[in-house]
Copies of this chain bind each other. A is one copy, B any other.
């Protein structure tokens, strides 16, 4: 009876019908992934009838691909080389069908891909994991946008002391996602709450509020969180009506700042506001900052979408960028931080933009990392950028 209860308690009766190997919390289950002491990682999948099984992940070694080998127990196995500390996502491809690692219950969604996830500790990934330090809160919050004509959703991190020190006001970092992302992206893939909790606990970053809005102005919220429900599939922003490079999001941005200043204990001035974004969010950061000089003392462009060839300069938001940058320069700011990976498809666009800034004598700091257009870089950029703020 006890065993029966154990089985049925799973909640979904028909789970009983699933393959036993998928029950990661039962004894005797296959262990996968297994992060080894030397920082290599072993994957194991039981697939007795498969002809070919491989693992595809976002690490650099072997381009992230590993062909798995079959052992005598019908378990396919592959071990990576030692991997640098990071959060990694991966999928298992069995006879041409890509899916999760059946024994790993932890997943992340990136645009339309759901992947399995693991951490290699001992470096930057230590900041992406939970430690016994005071924890902040993450909330999903809806704000009314008059300019975009709808309620819109954002994620807001408040630091650990926000709930206790109730008279204290905080600076705010506005943190923007890329094409295909949404208000969940920095929380889920960026591990923002862990990064901020850990940096604050070590005294490396000032306690701050982090606001992560939805950057698709034609949409209210992430896929599954709007009244379209599951018929709105995750998609790149250029496929979302009314969302792509039309300047509406950038021009409406003060609504978000106003809502946050009205509803949270912020220090509502330029010296206590930062704005940063990845990819499309870096493009947004540039144009929000350019159109609203005097609003932000700190700006961060992470692998920014600075390919200007397809920007409609007839849009008010995008008109006369050089002139707007001159005004921004005149207003003054403390940090304009640009980071890009040397394998990023936007590398040349970013280097060209630096020349443009040089010609304007517009001050910036430039950080060049390895690798490409990856969440690994964006987490690491945040880890470098956040400690620079509000000091």
What residues of chain A have their CB less than 8 Å away from a CB belonging to chain B?
2, 4-6, 8-15, 17-19, 21-25, 45-51, 56-58, 63-65, 89, 91, 93-100, 102, 105-107, 109-115, 117-119, 129-132, 134-135, 137-142, 151, 153, 160, 163, 178-181, 189, 221, 223-227, 229-230, 233-236, 238-239, 263, 279-280, 307, 310, 345, 372-375
On chain B, the residues within 8 Å of A111 by CB distance are 10-11, 25
Min CB–CB distance A21 → chain B (angstroms): 8
Tell whether, in the assembled complex, residue B234 and residue A18 are in contact, meaning their CB atoms are under 8 Å apart: no
Closest Cβ neighbor of A179 among chain B residues: B9
List 15 other contacts, CB 8 Å, given A9-B279, A18-B56: A9-B180, A9-B236, A10-B113, A11-B110, A11-B374, A14-B58, A17-B56, A17-B63, A24-B112, A25-B234, A47-B97, A49-B51, A114-B114, A119-B230, A138-B139
Closest to A310 in B: B2
B140 to A25, Cβ gap below 8 A? Answer: no
In the complex, which residues of chain B have a beta carbon less than 8 angstroms from the beta carbon of A5?
Answer: 307, 345
Q: Collect the chain B residues with CB atoms within 8 Å of residue A141's CB.
A: 137, 163
Cβ contacts under 8 Å, A94 to chain B:
94-95, 97
Query: Given the complex of chains A and B, what is the CA–CA distance between A373 and B227 in angstroms?
Result: 29
A-B contact pairs, 26 of them (CB 8 A): A2-B310, A9-B279, A9-B373, A10-B113, A11-B181, A11-B279, A11-B373, A12-B89, A14-B63, A15-B56, A15-B110, A18-B93, A18-B98, A21-B97, A22-B113, A25-B236, A48-B95, A94-B97, A105-B112, A107-B114, A118-B230, A129-B227, A129-B229, A130-B224, A130-B225, A131-B227
A180 to B4, CA, bound (A): 15
Closest 8 CB pairs of A and B: A99-B99, A14-B64, A139-B139, A49-B95, A25-B235, A18-B98, A135-B142, A19-B98
A19 near B93 with CB under 8 A, answer yes
| B138, B179, B223, B310: the one within 8 Å of A140 (CB) | B138
Q: Are A230 and B97 in contact (CB under 8 A)?
A: no
Contact: B105 with A11, CB < 8 Å? no
Bound Cα distance A64, B15 (Å): 10
User: Bound complex: CA of A189 vs CA of B10, how far in Å?
Assistant: 13
Q: How far is the CA of A64 from the CA of B97 in the complex (A)?
A: 23
Q: A17–B65 contact, CB under 8 A?
A: yes
Closest to A309 in B: B1
A137 contacts B134, C-beta separation under 8 Å: no
Chain B's nearest CB lies how many Å from the CB of A63?
7
List residues of chain B with CB within 8 A of the CB of A50.
Answer: 95, 97
The answer to whether B14 and A57 have CB atoms under 8 Å apart is yes
B138/A151 in contact, CB under 8 A: no
Contacts of A129 in B (CB 8 A): 227, 229
Look across to chain B and name the residue whose beta carbon is closest to the beta carbon of A185. B11
Chain B residues with CB under 8 Å of A233's CB are 24-25, 105
Q: Kindly state the separation between the CA atoms of A312 and B51 in the bound complex, as whole angstroms.
A: 52
Chain B: minimal CB distance from A262 (Å) = 9
8 Å CB contact of A234 from B24, B230, B239, B307: B24
Q: Nearest chain B CB to A139's CB is how many angstroms away? A: 4
Alpha-carbon distance A19/B96, docked complex (angstroms): 6
Closest partner residue, chain B, to A59 (CB atom): B14
Enumerate chain B residues within 8 angstroms of A48, measured Cβ to Cβ: 95-96
Residues of B within 8 A of A117 (CB): 230
Are B105 and A226 within 8 A (Cβ)? no
Complex CA distance for A99 and B104, rounded to whole angstroms: 11
Distance in angstroms between the alpha carbons of A235 and B51 in the assembled complex: 32
Q: Knowing A11-B180, A131-B227 touch, does A64 contact B17 (C-beta < 8 A)?
A: yes
